[in-house]
Amino acid sequence: MNLKQKIRNKELTIGSWLTIPHQAVVEIMATAQFDWITIDIEHSAVDIESIMNIVGHIQAAGIKALIRVYDNDEIIIKRVLDAGADGIIVPMIKSKKEAEELVSNVYYPPKGRRGVGLSRAQQYGIGFEDYQKKLEEEIIIIAQIEHIDAINNLEEILEVEEIDATLIGPYDLSASMGKPGKFHLPEVKKAVHRYDEICKTKGKPMGAHVISSDSSETQEKIDLGYTFLAFSLDFFFLGDKAREEMGKLKKENKI
C-alpha cells in the first residue's frame, strides 16, 4: 500500500517540516524514520533551484517528499511536481471551486490543465508514460484549511474526491477571525472543533501540523483521531534541544 492509499484510508502517517535547504539536515531528519517530509517554500528561504536536490535526498532516504507551495498557482505546482515531488500541500483553500482548481493544476488534460513538460519526474522524457500512471495512483494532494471561510465551506470542499486529505492551519485560521495566535479563545476552539466534526461525519482524514517538538502534543492529536500529522520542524528540533540542554547547564552551574 502506497502513502496516498494510507492517507486516504486514514492510517496514521507522521511526517515533519523542512525549512533549512541543506542535504545534511535532510539526512539527519531521515534517521528519525518519518513517513514523509514536507519542504516548505511558503514560509522559508527554500527557493525553486534548491527543490530538485532536496527532493532527491529525501527520496534517496526512502521517505516521500511533499512540498508546501505558496499559492494555488498552476505554474509553481507544475514546477515542483516536475521536480519529482511525491505530493503537494496547498495553502488557503477556502471553497470547493478553489479545491477543484487545485486538482486541475495537478493533472494533465483532459482531467486537468497542467502543462506537459519533461524533467526529473518524467525521467527526462523516457518515463513519461510511467509518470502518468504515478500521477493517478500515487501523487498526494493536500488542501490546507486555514481560514474561517474554509471552515464554513468545508463540507463542499470535502466533496472534491481527488483531495486526499486536509490540513488544519490554526495560526491563519485564528488570524482570519481577527484573533491571531489566540487558540485558547472559545470561538477559535469552536472553529477547530467544527473541522474535526465535519471531517469525521464525512469520513475524511484529519490533518494537522503540530509545531511543538514535544511528542505529547502530537499524541494528543492522534488521540483525537488525526491521522495525517506533521510533527514539528527542523529548526524547532534543533533550537528546542539546544535551549533545553543549555538551560540545564546554566542552572547546574549557576551561570
Residue 195: other Cβ atoms inside 10 A: 22
The domains located in the chain, with CATH, are: 3-253 (3.20.20.60)
Kindly report, residue by residue over 78-123, the tens digit of the pLDDT: 999 999 999 999 999 999 999 999 999 999 999 999 999 999 999 9
Query: In the structure grid, which three cell numbers stand for residue 63, read together?
Result: 521517505
Residue showing cell 464525512: 202
Q: Dihedral angle at the C-alpha atoms of 6, 8, 11, 17, nearest 10 degrees?
A: 80
| pLDDT at site 184 | 85
Kindly report, residue by residue over 133-153, the tens digit of the pLDDT: 999 999 999 999 999 999 999
CA distance 207 to 7: 10
Catalytic center residues = 43
Which amino acid, 5?
Answer: Q
* Phi, psi for residue 209 in degrees, rounded to 5: -110, 110
* Phi, psi for residue 204 in degrees, rounded to 5: -105, 150
DSSP string over 54-75: HHHHHHHTT-EEEEE-SSS-HH
Which amino acid, 98?
Answer: E
What average pLDDT does the structure give for the chain? Answer: 96
Kindly report, residue by residue over 224-254, the tens digit of the pLDDT: 999 999 999 999 999 999 999 999 999 999 9
Kindly report, residue by residue over 37-62, the tens digit of the pLDDT: 999 999 998 988 899 999 999 999 99
pLDDT at 155 over 90: yes
Query: In the structure grid, which three cell numbers stand for residue 90, read together?
Result: 496547498
Q: Dihedral angle at the C-alpha atoms of 12, 100, 199, 177, nearest 10 degrees?
A: 110
Residues 6+ apart with CB under 8 A from 137: 2, 4
Among candidates 200, 199, 148, 197, which has minimal Cα distance to 171? 148
In Å, the largest CA–CA distance within the chain is 68
